């Protein structure tokens, strides 16, 4: 269908103005205003109260309808530095792809349709012109006075007035607008609104690479935006600068992984190294040796390096050590990508790789300013795996609102992490639970807003090992059992298409199908949260106890657990 090109500038001195209340349903009902300014044959739709500063990528949008040509012009202008980008979607005002039922209700015409299991109702008043403040739903005969979805009112006409405009008001300006489709404009808006940072781009994690090394002061000498390899190449680290964002942003990490030669299911972790305290940081153990980190000696006589929060006084200086903050625990499947041509199974098409996406908004205190981010996959394969990692933040409001960051400078504390990302450099496995529990003592300022973010997966890959045996994890607070959680996944068979070289057995099962202790090959393990609101402010001891299974021959069970104290909106100490 051909549309008329925009007419030259149209101006009016007198017009009809219609003001609508727009309802937004959440914990409370928020109301904003929308207006139609009409001068035949044009009307323009305004959203009232739009004042900046706006978030990056926000578009100033207007919609103009030409009743004479049955055309709708939706325009978006993006400010890109000193330049502006102009886009325009032109469509027919009449929607022939939506079937409406009509009826007369209380002197109004009600148009009803069903879209995506939603019932939409449009109540239209008799009027010489067809005015609709939501023209994407089409053209109705008369003036729209109410719009309901599933019985709830979302838009209501509140005021009609004859507007005497003293000056000149353009309704439809001609200009250099790039013509795009509705879908294209939607994608452009999403792309511009999302604040995305590429951390790792197709980086190889494999055994046998030369370790990087930083001499002298690691704070001054570690380069920014350079990929450093450690633990024989199985760990990649980058020091980056991330923007400080208002609290309304939601932040996610996205990881793409594919085999580059390793055929097995491996443990992986994306983590941040806490900095900013007096005391050693985890990077010391990465750059030197895990033994340089604060250690716990278990009753089994073994050392467990860098796994637990520690606070001590060195002279007059309070020293802290925090283990890595685990953003995401993930598990590679059996050989996806590299081995896709090895085995063919009827009814299955192997995926090209695995994709993991997880929200980490509650850890955003660690994801702003100067940040050290690592990704690790434990393997001794020369080809290993390839990974790409992005951090993406999505605004929850059009307005920037710097004030929402006040008091956010310390709302998280990493307590423990036995996921041995330095495994290939000599860091011990989390076997401590065979003879001990793991305890940390920490000050909790406002327990009513505090949760423990907890990730736990069991390992020991033989029949009877903890990988395949449910084990309760008991969280004790000040010596009292408070929470009991058993990590267990029974949906591993859903991810068969990611596991081309998983072992297939006589009974029709595949190795990747078997239920496991909190994980499946090809998935990310979701954190669980324990509410600490019942505690009094002060110092408390948090203990993790797991009935770890006994070794068998040269094999042993172990547990990778990580815990972060999350204080919502309050400053920790």
Provide CB contacts within 8 A for 227, sequence distance 6+: 200, 203, 236, 237, 238
Provide CB contacts within 8 A for 210, sequence distance 6+: 229, 233
> What is the structure's pLDDT at 445?
82
Average pLDDT over every residue of 546-567: 96
The per-residue DSSP string of 472-528 comes to: -EEEEETTEEEEEE---B--GGGGGGG-TT--B-TTS-BGGGS-BSS--TT-EEPPE
3, pLDDT greater than 80: no
Position 301 confidence tier, pLDDT thresholds 50, 70, 90: very high
Position 116 confidence tier, pLDDT thresholds 50, 70, 90: very high
Give the chain's mean pLDDT: 91
- String of b and e for 317-343 (b: at least 16 CB within 10 Å)? eeebbbbbbbbbbbbbbbbbbbbbeee
Average pLDDT over every residue of 153-174: 72
Whether omega before 53 lies within 30 degrees of 0, making that bond cis, reads yes
> What is the structure's pLDDT at 476?
98
Phi and psi at 103, nearest 5°, equal -160, 155
**Rounded Cα distance, 452 and 480, in Å:** 16
Strand pairing of 83-92 and 178-179? parallel
Whether the CB-CB separation of 500 and 438 falls below 8 Å is answered with no
> What is the structure's pLDDT at 396?
92
170, pLDDT greater than 60: no
**Rounded Cα distance, 183 and 245, in Å:** 28
pLDDT digits (tens, 9 = 90+) for 407-464: 444 578 999 999 999 999 999 999 999 999 999 999 988 777 899 999 999 999 998 9
Overall size of the chain counted in residues: 573
Nearest to 427 by CA among 213, 235, 219: 235
> What is the structure's pLDDT at 13?
52
> What is the structure's pLDDT at 305?
98
Can you give the three-state secondary structure of 287-335, one letter per residue? Answer: HCCHHHCCEEECCCCCEEECCECEEEEECCEEEEECCCEEEEEEECCCC
> What is the structure's pLDDT at 277?
81
Whether the CB-CB separation of 162 and 12 falls below 8 Å is answered with no
Provide CB contacts within 8 A for 414, sequence distance 6+: 274, 309, 322, 323, 324, 325, 562, 563, 564, 565
Position 173 confidence tier, pLDDT thresholds 50, 70, 90: low
The per-residue DSSP string of 101-140 comes to: EEEEETTEEEEEEEETTEEEEEEEE--SS-B-SSGGG---
> What is the structure's pLDDT at 168?
41
Nearest to 220 by CA among 370, 417, 78, 69: 370
Average pLDDT over every residue of 535-556: 95
pLDDT digits (tens, 9 = 90+) for 333-376: 999 999 999 999 999 999 999 999 999 999 999 999 999 999 99
- What the chain holds in terms of domains, given with CATH numbers, is 11-190 (2.50.20), 194-567 (2.60.120.1570)
Q: What share of the chain is helix, strand, coil (3-state, %, to 5)?
A: 10, 45, 45
Share of residues in the chain with pLDDT > 70 (%)? 93
> What is the structure's pLDDT at 238?
98
pLDDT digits (tens, 9 = 90+) for 207-256: 999 999 999 999 999 999 999 999 999 999 999 999 999 999 999 999 99
12, pLDDT greater than 60: no
Collapsing DSSP to helix, strand or coil, 462 comes out as: coil
403, pLDDT greater than 70: no
172, pLDDT greater than 90: no
């Amino acid at each position: 269908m051909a549309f008329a090109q925009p007419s030259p500038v149209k101006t009016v001195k007198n017009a009809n103005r219609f003001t609508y209340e727009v309802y937004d349903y959440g914990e409370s009902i928020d109301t904003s205003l929308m207006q139609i300014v009409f001068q035949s044959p044009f009307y323009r739709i305004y959203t009232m109260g739009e004042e900046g500063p706006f978030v990056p990528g926000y578009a100033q949008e207007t919609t103009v309808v030409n009743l004479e040509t049955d055309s709708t012009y939706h325009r978006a202008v993006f400010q890109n530095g000193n330049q502006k980008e102009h886009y325009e979607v032109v469509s027919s005002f009449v929607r022939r792809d939506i079937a409406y039922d009509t009826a007369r209700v209380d002197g109004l015409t009600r148009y009803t349709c069903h879209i995506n299991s939603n019932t939409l109702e449009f109540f239209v008043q008799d009027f010489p012109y067809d005015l609709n403040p939501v023209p994407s739903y089409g053209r109705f005969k008369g003036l729209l006075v109410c719009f309901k979805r599933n019985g709830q009112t979302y838009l209501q006409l509140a005021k009609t007035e004859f507007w005497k405009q003293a000056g000149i008001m353009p309704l439809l300006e001609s200009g250099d607008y790039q013509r795009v489709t509705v879908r294209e404009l939607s994608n452009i808006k999403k792309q511009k609104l999302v604040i995305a940072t590429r951390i790792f781009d197709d980086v190889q994690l494999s055994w046998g690479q030369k370790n990087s090394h930083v001499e002298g002061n690691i704070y001054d000498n570690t380069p920014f935006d350079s990929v450093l390899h450690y633990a024989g190449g199985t760990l990649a680290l980058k020091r980056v600068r991330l923007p400080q964002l208002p609290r309304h942003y939601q932040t996610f990490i996205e990881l793409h992984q594919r085999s580059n030669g390793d055929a097995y299911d491996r443990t992986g972790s994306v983590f941040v190294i806490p900095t900013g305290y007096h005391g050693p940081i985890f990077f010391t153990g990465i750059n030197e040796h895990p033994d340089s980190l604060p250690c716990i000696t278990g009753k089994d006589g073994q050392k467990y390096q860098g796994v637990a929060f520690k606070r001590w006084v060195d002279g007059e200086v309070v020293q802290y050590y925090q283990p890595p903050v685990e953003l995401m625990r993930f598990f590679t499947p059996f050989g996806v990508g590299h081995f896709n041509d090895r085995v063919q199974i009827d009814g299955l098409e192997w995926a090209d790789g695995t994709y993991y996406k997880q929200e980490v908004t509650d850890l955003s205190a660690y994801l702003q300013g100067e940040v050290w981010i690592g990704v690790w996959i434990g393997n001794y394969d020369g080809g290993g795996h390839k990974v790409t990692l992005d951090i993406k933040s999505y605004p929850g409001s059009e307005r920037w609102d710097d004030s929402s960051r006040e008091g956010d400078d310390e709302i998280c504390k990493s307590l423990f992490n036995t996921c041995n990302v330095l495994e290939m450099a000599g860091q011990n496995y989390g076997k401590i639970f065979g003879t001990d529990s793991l305890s940390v003592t920490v000050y909790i300022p406002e327990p009513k807003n505090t949760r423990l973010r907890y990730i736990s997966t069991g390992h020991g890959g033989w029949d009877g090992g903890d990988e395949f045996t449910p084990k309760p994890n008991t969280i004790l607070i000040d010596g009292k059992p408070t929470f009991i959680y058993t990590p267990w996944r029974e949906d591993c068979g859903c991810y068969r298409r990611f596991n081309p070289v998983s072992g297939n057995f006589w009974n029709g099962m595949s190795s990747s199908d078997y239920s496991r202790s909190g994980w499946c090959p090809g998935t990310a393990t979701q954190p669980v949260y324990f509410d600490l609101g019942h505690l009094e402010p002060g110092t408390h001891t948090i203990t993790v106890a797991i009935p770890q299974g006994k070794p068998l021959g040269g094999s042993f069970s172990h547990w990778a657990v990580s815990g972060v104290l999350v204080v919502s909106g309050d400053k920790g100490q």
